[in-house]
A and B are shown apart, each in its own frame.
Chain A
Amino acid sequence: MSDFEPKIVAFFCNWCTYGAADLAGVSRLDYPPNFRVVRLPCTGRLNPKFIMEAFKRGADGVWVSGCHPGDCHYIAGNYYARRKFILLHQLLESVGVDPNRLRFSWISSAEANKFQAMAKDVVENVKACGPNQSFRKEELNLGLAEVA
């Protein structure tokens, strides 16, 4: 398990966490490269479908991060998002998805250090969960490997 490198899908708000990732980059703060970032205009844009799709396609973890409450570029997008997160978090945990696979965080564009720490923490947590085997779509096996 030690050489398991998880794949994590990260949904970042353009106005804060995406900026924090940028700042962490220019500040030469190193963090693990296990996540692929999808840039959103706001966490309010996040549809629970996106998270399900990520898991379905084999992501080992999902990380959603946006602006601190009260700091939304669109005034209230993250407040609405927070209510959705509460439901989604509860639902996925209830059906047996390890909560360590799913992370929500608030990181402003000035918090490069928080971003670095959070990135390390997310990857560590997902690593501890191991590969996502129970909550993904089986790859279609047509038996073509033998033919080719």
Chain B
Amino acid sequence: MPQLSEITGKIRESAKKLLTSGQADVVIGYRQGTVPMATAPFFARTPEDCDQLVWSNFARVNLANYLSGRPGKVALVAKGCDARSAVGQVTENQILKDNLYLIGVPCTGMIDNNLVVAKEPRPISEVTETTDEAITVKGNGFSTDIKKEDVLRRNCKTCVNRTPKLANELVGPEVNGAAADDYADIKALLGKSLEERMAYFKDLIKDCLRCYACRNACPLCYCPICFVDETRPQWLGKSTDAMDTMTFHLLRGLHCAGRCTSCGACETACPVNIKVREFNRIMELTVQSNWQYEPGMSWDQKPPLTMFQTDDTADFIK
């Protein structure tokens, strides 16, 4: 059970070393947020900046989002999922491997604020965290201890790759994740009838504002012009029409197929708490069962949609 301050210290130490030696022009990490239960992305460019870097149970943002097309040498503070996304950025030629340095943090999962608020509905003004196993939230006249395993994000509960194996260095002891994600929820869903599934997904996205926060938080979404912003032709209307929203989520799911590392940044970013990863998970299950491909597991793997096998099975094609 490592202390968070210990990991923070190691991140700072490593970041300073990288910046002073010139191995990195910038270290992208987390700093303490301005409100309780939050961290903010932080770009450290000088050794003095590094003292603002922290590690926390709320480091939910996937920093690999800042990699694509970034010039110069970059060091990235990465959890298991973030490191996989970063490797994905390399395999998709968004950044050169030689310009990337991964400061890997073996991760025990990040906290879902909504679950904390569900447990402690009173207004929280302060949170203290010393280890990666529990937090204490404080407010006006109360102080509540909460175990982290009770308030983990959905994707962190089923996380398989907690330790960033491909990172250049690890700043903590290795953590073992679940043996395998069995996709039980998705398989149960697919066992239902067509009508039930349609109703489920329509209900799932009924609150969607199409603010595109999920897209912006996602390290996979780096197209210069997203299909939702295209106007000639215009694929999606500008209103929150239900079918436009469905189209957005389906195509987003398709675009992430074989690339999503289940970092959960999209669900964390969603202001109306939609489980947007449902679409991604259907695609991940399909990709894994068809092509046994998991993104971000090696530097030289080729994304499944950029290649083919002459004997790919597709029995539904007549």
Contacts and interface: CB of A to CB of B under 8 A. Distances in A.
Interface of A: 48-49, 52-53, 56, 69-70, 76, 79-80, 82-99, 103-106, 118, 134-138
Contacts of A138: 241-243
A88 B314 CA distance: 12
A49 B236 CA distance: 10
A91 B250 contact: yes
A124 B123 CA distance: 60
Given A86-B290, A96-B194, A80 B201 contact: no
Interface string B245-288: 01100110110010000000000000000000001001100110
Which 6 residue pairs across A and B have the least CB separation, nearest first? A96-B198, A96-B197, A79-B308, A137-B243, A104-B317, A95-B201
Q: Which of A79, A87, A92 has the most CB of B within 10 A?
A: A87
Nearest to A49: B235
B305 interface: yes
Interface size class for chain B? 35 or more
Given A93-B194, A96-B199, A98-B194, 12 more contacts: A49-B227, A56-B244, A56-B247, A69-B310, A89-B316, A91-B253, A91-B286, A94-B189, A97-B198, A105-B318, A106-B317, A135-B243
B235 A87 contact: no
Given A49-B227, A99-B316, A118-B318, A91 B201 contact: no
A83 B197 contact: no
Contacts of B279: 91, 95
B282 A83 contact: no
A137 B242 CA distance: 7
A95 B201 CA distance: 6
